[in-house]
Amino acid sequence: MSSRAVAEQVGIGRTTVLNILKREGAEVRP
């Protein structure tokens, strides 16, 4: 697997985590 593919997967993972945290934060503090 190329380093570029790894970087893309990591970027997608970070985006997903941030979206989940934002969603949870919005639910806890509307």
- The pLDDT assigned to 30 comes to 59
- The pLDDT assigned to 26 comes to 81
pTM greater than 0.85 = no
CA distance 10 to 16: 10
Query: Taken in order 13, 19, 25, 27, is the CA torsion positive or negative?
Result: negative
- The pLDDT assigned to 25 comes to 86
- The pLDDT assigned to 27 comes to 79
Q: What is the pLDDT along the chain (30 residues), one digit of tens a residue?
A: 799 999 999 999 999 999 998 998 887 765
